[in-house]
Amino acid sequence: MRIRQLILINLAVWLFCAFVVGASWLINRNAIQGAALSVFQAQGRAAFTLIRATRHWNAAQGSVYVPVSSLTPPNPYLELENRDITDNLGRRLTQVNPAYMTRQISELLADADVNMRITSRNPLNPVNRAGRWESDSLGLMEQTGATEHVDRVGDQYRYMARLDIVHSCLPCHEQQGYKVGDLRGGISFTRSAAHVDPLVNDMLARVDRIHLGIWVLISMIAGLTTSLVFRFRQQLVGSESVQQALRALVETDALTGVLSRRELMNRLHREVDRCNRFDTSLVVLMVDIDHFKQVNDHQGHAEGDRILKRVAEQLQSSLRRVDSLGRYGGEEFTILLPRTSHDEALILARRLLQEVQSMGDVTISVGMACSRDLPDPVTGDVLLKMSDQALYAAKRNGRNRVFCHRELS
């Protein structure tokens, strides 16, 4: 009887521990995969931001014409009276609207590791008709009002960002019954998981091996409860380390080591909330490396990466522990200076200019905005916009200088 009871107790302990280990394994795998999805979402959002800026530039020009060629034939779906013209040199030109330009960019990316596609459930061009996942994503965004959707489908990561009808779209799409504000379609990005999560796969393998080892150990010594509890505790510690590594991956920029754009925005909103709550001053500096495109074009991207890292290190070394430095995108950095007055921030910004210039091969331009120049309550979006406007003013006025937003008024 005692043997039977011991067997039942050992079996119960084994089943309980197997259940706990299995649940831990599933939770950790889901957490790791969720973090990988967040990384790809940030990548997709950054790519979409660049494409959207390019489309806005095209629309802002009114009409963009390029020479007709085999790569750029006239767009039969662009039914405008002045679609095709001839210039004073006798060259035949055709109008390239934002949609046509986007599709051509996607064709140039066809051989890259990222597949981009402009799509719609009601396209003018049948080639742009949404696939099943794209159609489902557009339907979901239409129902919920979401601006983006990200998912993992098989061995691919997929990201979709919506495109709404604006006034510049109406000449082509008003005939389809669209009005301003309607969801017209979206731009989707697809990337093989092999390019996104090699680190995640390694972490998943570690989690699998650890959990399998614990399960085998429990099956062999089900009656040794103390040992099992100790091993399970060790596993939880290992799982926390994996999650911390993933958080670091999401929160920092892989090239420069400063804050990623996502974490930078999180900190901006926290600092703005603190600024409004305690009536303190918050300054945002937008920093851009001058003539960076020329460095990439003439000296190569490796040299450009080296300069990005050096500038980031120089900026970081001049900041306080309470300040935040993040990579906003490309060659742009953003600095958050909490509890800092306008004059104090201006002194710091000028010092940053001098310290970067002392590196010898690069200069920077800085746009500055202070919460004290805003009506209450302060918002992070407005601070970013003000500092960005000041940055462009600094570049227009010769670069290698600091420009404050209050100087624009």
CATH assignment of the domain containing 350:
3.30.70.270
Question: In the predicted model, what is the mean pLDDT of residues 11-20?
Answer: 72
C-alpha 371, offset from chain centre: 26
> Per the domain annotation, does 298 fall within a domain?
yes
Let me know if residue 327 belongs to a domain: yes
pLDDT the model gives residue 1: 46
CA nearest 138: which of 117, 156, 161?
161
**pTM assigned to the model:** 0.44
| Direct distance between the N- and C-terminal alpha carbons of the chain, in angstroms, rounded to an integer | 91
Whether residue 275 lies inside any domain: the answer is yes
Q: How many domains does the chain have?
A: 3
In terms of domains, do 162 and 283 share one? no
Average pLDDT over residues 305-316: 94
Same domain, 213 and 177: no
Domain assignment of residue 159, yes or no: yes
Residues 173 and 237 both lie in one domain? no
Token pair, residue 347, equals: 């002194």
In a domain, 16, yes or no: yes
| pLDDT value, residue 333 | 96
pLDDT tier at 229, thresholds 50, 70, 90:
very low
Residues 275 and 403 in one domain: yes
Same-domain pairing of 187 and 202: no
273 and 354 within one domain? yes
Largest CA distance in the chain: 104
Q: What is the mean pLDDT of residues 110-119?
A: 76
- Whether 164 maps to a domain, the answer reads yes
Q: Which stretch, 31-35, 183-187, 236-240, has highest mean pLDDT?
A: 183-187
Residues 220 and 179 in one domain: no
One domain, residues 102 and 205: no
Give the model's pLDDT for residue 363. 95
**Model confidence pLDDT, tens digit, residues 125-166:** 888 888 899 899 989 988 998 999 988 888 888 899 988 888
Handedness of CA 371, 374, 376, 379 (dihedral sign): negative
| Position 226 pLDDT exceeds 60 | no
Place of tokens 């150990």: 217
CA–CA dist 199, 249 (Å, integer): 10
- C-beta neighbour count of 301 within 10 angstroms: 11
User: Which residues have a Cβ under 8 Å from the Cβ of 4 and sit 6 or more positions away?
Assistant: none
How far apart (Å, rounded) are the C-alpha atoms in residues 198 and 169? 40
Quote the CA–CA distance of 169 and 181 in Å, as a whole number.
Answer: 11
- Regarding whether 107 and 185 lie in a shared domain, the answer is yes
- Last residue in a domain, options 193, 218, 235: 193
Q: Are residues 18 and 109 both part of a single domain? A: no
Q: The dihedral of CA 51, 54, 60, 66: what is its sign?
A: negative
Specify whether 282 is located in the same domain as 376.
Answer: yes
Give residue 227's domain range: 2-34+198-249
Mean pLDDT computed over 13-41: 74
Q: Where a domain ends, among 214, 249, 284? A: 249
pLDDT in tens, 325-369: 999 999 999 999 999 999 999 999 999 999 999 988 899 999 999
Q: Among 193, 214, 238, where does a domain finish? A: 193
Q: Residue 48: inside a domain, yes or no? A: no
Same domain, 171 and 269: no
Give the pLDDT band of residue 228 (cuts 50, 70, 90). very low
Secondary structure (3-state) at 155: coil
Residue 42 is assigned to a structural domain of this protein:
no
Question: In the predicted model, what is the mean pLDDT of the chain?
Answer: 83
